[in-house]
Amino acid sequence: MANPSILILPGDGIGPEVMAEVTKIISWFGDKRGLVFDVSEDLVGGAAYDVHGVPLADETMAKAQAADAVLLGAVGGPKYDVLDFSVKPERGLLRLRKEMDLFANLRPAQCFDALADFSSLKKDVVAGLDIMIVRELTSGVYFGEPRGIFNEGNERVGINTQRYTESEIVRVARAAFELAKRRNNKVCSMEKANVMESGILWREVVQKVHDEEYPEVELSHMYADNGAMQLVRWPKQFDVIVTDNLFGDILSDCAAMLTGSLGMLPSASLGAPMANGRPKAMYEPVHGSAPDIAGQGKANPIACILSFAMALRYSFDQGDEATRLEQAIEKVLADGVRTADLMGPDGGTPVSTSEMGDKIIAALDASL
């Protein structure tokens, strides 16, 4: 039986630095836990443009389609700002999402106890926070037609269309319910059914999927604006939140800051199951390419490492090993080990990007 395959796309800026630490940890799982992956590496973003003249070569796209999981670092940087829109580094990322049909974007917001003071909210509000936002990623107002800027009489008008089909809502709702079954069995669906017809359809379809397929999961509905307020009032009331593309974009960024550091946040984008039963999937840290600190060993690799933990859990059915990795990270943070972005008023032990990776591997060794 062939080993599961991972395509690594480090990208630009700090992408190669943080991905190097993930590669070390992948090797650790092969050496110490017998989880052997067939790992290949290729170019995306500005790095791909420098070599191929496009942000994602067709050959790389084919590799991504064939891989069991894709791990992406980050794309972009000021060097590429002058490029035509069609070949900007970000277009490579968008092509991957579109052609792999990655319709469910998973954005966890988890606050490690050692970092609870980093949040702008009170410690008791965020300590122990562990929620998951499931954002529909391939439809909605960002893709609906008609769209554009048009002349209307004596002035211009900008038009974007919020559009969802039942099937698009069904598949992201199922993804949310399946996730909830692995967690605390609770889903909150957010929309604006009070003022938007697409919100009415969203609520009706999510409710129908629940009633017919997942009656054992607790389901609630909430208007998205109230959801934003509740996220900063008492976020621990939620487990899984499912919402559309626009509201998911806003709510997940709001939730991201509950945890206090962008360098701690992973994400997963999942699609339909492949022939082997695994979903097409791409995993990436939420942070950008941070070109201002690239090559200096200052980047925090934890978000990228946590993205690999998500791959272990959702692509490779290795939930226990994902938990092992997450607990190793928690142990390192509890010991006061800090990359530059995590250095607070209470100090800590400053480490470089590679040293943080080494500390996490040492904690993994200690877990055996």
Strand 104-110 to strand 130-136: parallel, antiparallel, or no bridges (unpaired)?
antiparallel
How far is residue 110's CA from residue 265's CA, in Å, rounded to a whole number? 8
Catalytic residue among 225, 236, 298, 358: 225
On the CB side of 218, CA atoms within 13 Å amount to: 8
H/E element holding 82? none
Rounded to whole angstroms, the Cα distance separating 60 from 96 reads 10
Active-site residue, 142 included: yes
Of 142, 208, 223, 236, the active-site residue reads 142
88 catalytically annotated: no
Distance of alpha carbon 64 from alpha carbon 281, whole angstroms: 9
Q: Give residues with Cβ within 8 angstroms of 73, minimum separation 6.
A: 9, 10, 11, 12, 14, 15, 16, 18, 19, 284, 285, 289, 304
Q: Do 312 and 324 form a contact (C-beta atoms < 8 A)?
A: no
* Contact between residue 269 and residue 137 where contact means Cβ atoms under 8 Å apart: yes
Instruction: Label residue 358 exposed, middle or buried (CB < 10 Å: 0-12, 13-18, 19+).
Output: middle
Q: Which of 12, 68, 164, 192 is catalytic?
A: 192
Among this protein's residues, is 192 annotated catalytic?
Answer: yes
The residue annotated as part of the active site, out of 113, 117, 130, 253, is 253
| Residue from 12, 68, 249, 341 carrying the catalytic annotation | 249
Per the annotation, the verdict on 58 as an active-site residue is no
Do 266 and 253 contact (CB within 8 A), yes or no?
no
Q: Measure the CA–CA gap between 160 and 166, rounded to whole angstroms.
A: 20
Task: Find the radius of gyration of the CA atoms of the chain.
Answer: 21
Say whether the peptide bond before residue 146 is cis (omega within 30 degrees of 0).
Answer: yes
Q: What is the distance between the alpha carbons of residues 66 and 63, in angstroms, rounded to a whole number? A: 5
Which residues belong to the active site? 142, 192, 225, 249, 253
